[in-house]
Chains A and B, each alone.
Chain A
Amino acid sequence: MRSATVLRNICALVALVLVSSLHIAQAEPYFAVREGLKCASCHFNPAGGGMRNAFGNGWAQSALPARRIEGTGTDAWTGVLNSFVALGGNLRANATYTDVPDAAATSEFELEEMRAYLAISAVPDRLAVYIDQRIAPGGSQNLEAFARYTTKDQRWNVQAGQFYLPYGWRLEDDDAYIRQVTGINFATPDRGVQVGYESAQWSAQLAVSNGTASGPEPDQGKQVSLRAEHIQNVWRFGAGFNNNHTDAGDRQMQGVFAGVRTGPIAWLAEADYLTDETLGPVERKQWVGLIEANWLVGKGQNLKLTAEVFEPDTDVDEDEQNRYSLVWEYVPFQFMQLRVGARIYDGIPQNDLQNRKIYFAQVNGFF
C-alpha cells in the first residue's frame, strides 16, 4: 500500500516535470541550457534565481539527482502548500582554503547563507507578493520583496518593490567577473518597477530602479536595465543593456550572452562592455567576458570549467585579469548538492589579491 503511494507520488513528479512548461527556471543557467527550458520554468522569478516553483522542485527530485532517497512519509515536496502559498529555502555552507601570495594561507568553515522564500498568490497565477529573505548568518536582510501582476495569458507581468535587476546570465557565483564588475548580482537588488514579457521562445524584462543597490536615493538619476533572451531547444541568445544615471556620472553597460548544448556539454558565454564616469576624472572603459562549459559526467554529476577575463581599463595596458574555475558538482540525492572546486586568479604581479587561489567545498541544501 505504502509503496504504491510512493510510486504514485514519483509518477506525479515525473509527470509534472514532463508536462509543465508554465513557469520559468534557473538557479544555475546551465540547467536551463541543458534542458532547453527558459529560466522561468523552474523559478518564481522570470529571470531566474530565488524560489523554485513546483516544476523546479519536481525536476530537482527526479532529473537532477544521482538517485532518489525516501523518507518516512509518502508525500513529495513541491514547495506549494496550497493554491495561494509557496515556500522555499537555500542553505550554503562552505569550507574554504585561500592562498594569497606573500601571505599566510587561511582556511575556514563558514555559513555562506541561509535564505527563505515565500510567495503568496492572492489570485493564483495572476497576483502575488514575494519575499526573498536572507536570515543567516548575522542579522536578517531582505533581498527581494515585490508585488507582481500577471496578465491572464501569462505573457506580460509587472512587478514593483525590491528585486534583482535583469541583465545577462544570473550565475550563482557573485564573484564571477560578469557579476562582480557589472555590479548586478544577488548582493545588489534594487528598488523600482519591472515589466516582463514571456512567450514560448522569448523572455524579456525591463526595469527602472533607483540605481543605488537598495541604498538611499541621493539624486534624481535612475537606472534602466534591460534583458532580452531568445530561446530554442538547443541554443539561446540574449542581450542586455544597463544605464545608471547619477550626479556622479553615468555608468552604462551593454552585453550579449548565449548558451548552447553540444551532447553532454552545456556552454554559456557572455561579454559585456562598460563605460563608467564615476571611477575617476575621465570615463573608464572596461570589458568582461566569460565562457563556461558544464559537462554532464553522469547522472547527478556536473563538471564545470570556467574561463573569465576582465579588462579594467582599455586605455591602460597590461592590467588585464583572468580567473579560471574548475568545479565538480554532485547531487547525490534530491535537494542536496555537493560542490568541490578551485578558482585561480591571474592578475598583475604587484597585486597579491589578483593572484590568489581559492579551494573550496560546499554543501548546498535547497528546497
Chain B
Amino acid sequence: MPRTTSLGESMRKAKLLALCTSCALAACAGDGSGLDENGRPEGESSGTLQPNFQSIQDNVFTPVCTGCHAGAAAPLGLRLDEGASYALLVNAPSVEVPSLQRVQPSNPDASYLIQKLEGTAAVGARMPLNQPALPAETIAVIRQWITDGASNNTGTGAGGSGKSRFELVELTAVSPARDEIVPGPVRDVVVASNVELDATLLQSSVIELRASGGDGTFDSGNERAVPVDATVRSDRPSVLAITPRLAPLSADSYELRISGTDPVAMADLQARPIDGDGDGAPGGDFVLRFTVEMTQ
C-alpha cells in the first residue's frame, strides 16, 4: 500500500507538486490577437454565431446539444442533429410543457427552448445538462433568431429552402426515421418537404397511418387504421406533424403512407405531386415504416 507522509515532507512535496504540474504544460493561453470570439481568424465568418438557423445549428446545436439530443433515443424525442432539429423545434409542442412550443416564431419568451437554456422552465433541469450554461451572448443570438421569425436558411435537406422551378417535390422522414426502432410512446410523426406544400390537401385522405396488428407486416389482413390529424408546423419549407388522434403510438410496427398518386395526391403550391417513391419523377406514394418499442 502507498505510504502517507509527515507534515514537513508533505509541504515540500506539495510545493514540488504544484510547481511541476503548473510548469509541465508551460504553454500559456493564447492572447487572442487577430482572432474573433470563437478563436478563429478575424474575417473567417463561418465560425461566428449569427442569428440564423444554420449558424445556430453549426455553433450550438451540433457541438453542444447533439451529445445527448441525437438518435432514436434522444431525450423526449428531441433530436437536434442537422436535418431534424428545425422540424422538431419550430412550432413543435414541448413534451414537458405541451402548452408551450419549443420555438414559437417571433416570441422568444414563450419559446420553451429559451426557457430551458435560461433555466426558467417549470420542468426539468437547465440545458445543456450538466454543463455550464450557454453564454448570455449565445442565448441572445438564439433569441434574436426567434424574434426574427425563426426562419430556416439551411438550404438543404429537411427544412431546406433551396427551391428551384424544376426540382422535385421530395419528402423526408424526420422523426421517426425510415425503418427506425424508437422508444414509445410516440406522440407524432414528423415529415418535411423541400418546398412548400399545398396545406389545403391535408383536408382530404392523402395521409394514412396503419398499425401492423403486432406481426410487423402490412399484408396479413390484421392491420388497423390509426386516425390522425395533420398539421403544418412551418410553410417554407413545409414541416408536417402527423399526430394520432386518440392516443400516442404504442408498441407495434407502423406504416405511414402519403399519397403521391391520383385521385388525390399531396402536391406543392404549383400542383406538382410529390415524388413519393423517390424514382426521380413526380408521383408515387411516400411510405414510411417504423417500429415503436416500449421501454418499460
Contact = CB atoms under 8 A, between A and B. Distances in A.
Interface string A276-320: 000011000000011111011111000101111101110011111
A249 interface: no
Given A138-B124, A214-B70, A305-B17, A351 B180 contact: no
A307 B67 contact: no
B263 interface: no
Given A350-B32, A351-B38, 8 more contacts: A141-B68, A141-B73, A213-B70, A216-B71, A316-B39, A346-B28, A350-B37, A351-B39
Central interface residue in A63, A281, A305, A358, by most chain B CB within 10 Å: A305
B214 interface: no
Nearest to B63: A279
Contacts of A327: none
A34 interface: yes
Interface string A339-365: 000000011111111101010000000
A188 B295 CA distance: 20
Given A138-B124, A175-B131, A356-B132, A293 B37 contact: no
Contacts of B133: 98, 106
8 contacts: A98-B132, A137-B125, A187-B68, A213-B70, A291-B25, A292-B21, A297-B4, A348-B37
Interface in B54-70: 66-68, 70
A319 B30 contact: yes
B2 to A, nearest CB: 5
B73 A214 contact: yes
A348 B22 contact: no
B2 A350 contact: no
A75 interface: no
Closest 4 CB pairs of A and B: A348-B32, A215-B71, A215-B70, A318-B30
A16 to B, nearest CB: 15
Contacts of A298: 4
Interface in B1-58: 1-5, 10, 13-14, 17-18, 20-22, 24-25, 27-41, 46-47
B177 interface: yes
Interface string A87-127: 00000000000101001001010111100000000000000
Contacts of A313: 39-40
A350 B132 contact: no
Given A137-B129, A263-B5, A297 B75 contact: no
A351 B30 CA distance: 11
B284 to A, nearest CB: 23
Contacts of B66: 213, 215
Interface in B212-260: none
Interface of B: 1-5, 10, 13-14, 17-18, 20-22, 24-25, 27-41, 46-47, 66-68, 70-76, 79, 81, 124-126, 129-133, 135-137, 177, 180, 295
Contacts of A170: none
Contacts of A335: none
Nearest to B138: A353
A139 interface: yes
A20 interface: no
A318 B2 contact: no
B5 A264 contact: yes
B67 A348 contact: no
Contacts of B34: 317-318
Contacts of B47: 280
Contacts of B39: 312-313, 316, 319, 321, 347-348, 351, 354
B13 A264 contact: yes
Contacts of B295: 140
Contacts of B124: 137-138
A265 interface: yes
Given A214-B71, A350-B37, A63 B1 contact: yes
B33 A318 contact: yes
A43 interface: no
Contacts of B25: 289-291, 307-309, 322
A290 B27 CA distance: 12
Contacts of B2: 34-35, 261, 263-264, 266, 296
Given A141-B75, A316-B40, A352 B135 contact: yes
B75 A307 contact: no
B159 to A, nearest CB: 16
B27 A322 contact: yes
A298 B6 CA distance: 10
B136 A303 contact: no
A63 B2 CA distance: 10
A142 interface: yes
A9 interface: no
A175 B21 CA distance: 19
A215 B40 CA distance: 29
